[in-house]
Structure formats: structure tokens, C-alpha cells
Chains A and B, each alone.
Chain A
Amino acid sequence: MKNILAVGFGGMAGSLLRTAVFQFAGAGLGLWLANIVGSFIIGIAAARLVNRSAGTRLFVSTGLIGSFTSFSAFSADWFRLLESSLLTGIMYALGMTAASIVAAALGLLAGRKGAVE
């Protein structure tokens, strides 16, 4: 039950933050920002929260960051772009995926470096 509440309240915070980013940057650019920044932070969290309690990790990684980033909106945007242009759609999907993977890798490296120093 405690774990479920940790995930839930994290998800609440992450969803509100994503909505704020969307309002600030617009839905299209907002999704890029949320997914890239979220992937970077989940990398840091994976490196830094290893020894923390399950509740902390569930709140931050599964709840907050997991909900801050979104895949359903990505599928929707990708589909719309593909309808207008095959090349734009494919570049969009590969671009966002590659950028998020690089961001997660950099976050993981940054988190590990910080933990050693």
C-alpha cells in the first residue's frame, strides 16, 4: 500500500509538471522537452538512488519521472506526422527515441560520476 501511494503521488506530481511544460512550450515542443529531460533525470536517479528505500525509488523514478514522460502522446504525434509525410514521421520517431536514449545514458554517467566524487 505504501508503495502504491508513493507511485501515485509521484505520478500526480509528474503529470502536473508535464502539463505545466506543455502549457509553457506547447504540446509538440513540450513532449520533446518532457521526454528528453525526463530521460536524463531517470538516468541520474538510476545511478544515485540505488541505496535508497524502495519507496523513494518508486516515488521518483516510477511515479514522478515515469509519468512526466509519455509514450501515448508520442504515438499520437508520430501518427499525425506520418500521415502528412513519411520521412518527417520517421525522422520524428527516430529523433525523439535517439535523443531520449542519449539523455538517459548521459544522466546515468553524470549520476555515477557525482556518486564517486
Chain B
Amino acid sequence: MISIAIFGFLGAVARYLCYMAVENRARQPKLATWFVNSLGSLIIGACLGAGVPATFGIFAFLGAFTTFSTMALDSVKDFEDGHWKQGIFYISATLVSGLLLFAAGYSIASM
């Protein structure tokens, strides 16, 4: 319980720092969301592949570090602005890279 609180705190802050780092360079918050979701998928794949127990704090960290709602909202904004291709590309790129990186992390760690 306390571990979830602490690692949830840290995961959200780490995500926010990624937003800051990306937004300071270019005003492209979707890039930061794509980055945290991809990196988080790679790391959770590696953890599951290596057999890290589910109670470990890293899972609470990754749960908060990655986000689904921000991705959904950003794509809705794209669709609303008429940027259909951009929104669909963003969603597809996130889903595919998340899956591929999870698979990569999983297979490397379970070797």
C-alpha cells in the first residue's frame, strides 16, 4: 500500500519530467506521451520476462509512468481539429511500438 503510493508518486513525476523535457524543445506533448508509453512497455516486458514478482514497486511505478487517458484525449483533439490522419497515425504508432517493445523486453529478459 505504501509502496504503491510512493512508486505511483515517482512514476507520475517521471512522466511529468519527460513532458517538460520534450515540451521545452518543441511544443509536441504527444511525442512525450508516446515516449513514456513506449519506454514503459519495454521495461514492463523486461520485468515480466525476467520474472520480477508482481508485488515489486517497479510495476506501480510503470502503471503511473505510462498513461492511456492522455493518449485518448490527444487523439480526440486531433480528430476534432480535422487532423484524422495525424490522430490515427499517433494511435497506431503508440500501439505498435508498445507491443513491439514489450515483446523485445520480454524476450531479451527471458533468454
Contact with B along A40-51 (1 / 0, CB 8 A): 011100100000
Number of inter-chain CB pairs below 8 Å: 174
B67 partner, pick from A71, A79, A101, A103, beta carbons under 8 A: A71
> Assuming A3-B16, A76-B102, is B95 touching A93 (CB within 8 A)?
yes
| Chain A residues, Cβ within 8 Å of B63 | 15, 18, 67, 70, 72-73
The residue on A at minimum CB distance from B5 is A12
Answer yes or no: B109 CB below 8 A from chain A CBs: no
| Chain B residues, Cβ within 8 Å of A69 | 67-70
Interface of B is mostly: helix
The residue on A at minimum CB distance from B48 is A76
* Cross-chain contact B41 with A75 (CB below 8 angstroms): yes
Q: How many residues of B contact A (CB 8 A)?
A: 49
Interface of A is mostly: helix
Answer yes or no: B73 CB below 8 A from chain A CBs: yes
* Cross-chain contact A15 with B68 (CB below 8 angstroms): no
Interface centre among B5, B65, B70, B75 (most CB of A within 10 A): B70
Chain A nearest CB, measured from B80 CB (Å):
8
Chain A residues 1 to 39 lying within 8 A of chain B, measured CB to CB, are 3-4, 7-16, 18-19, 34-35, 38-39
* Cross-chain contact B44 with A66 (CB below 8 angstroms): no
| Chain A residues, Cβ within 8 Å of B71 | 71, 100
* Cross-chain contact A12 with B72 (CB below 8 angstroms): no
* Cross-chain contact B16 with A4 (CB below 8 angstroms): yes
- The contact sample of 17 A-B pairs, CB cut-off 8 A, is A8-B13, A11-B13, A11-B64, A12-B12, A42-B73, A62-B70, A66-B64, A67-B15, A75-B102, A76-B44, A78-B98, A79-B45, A97-B91, A100-B68, A101-B76, A101-B79, A108-B80
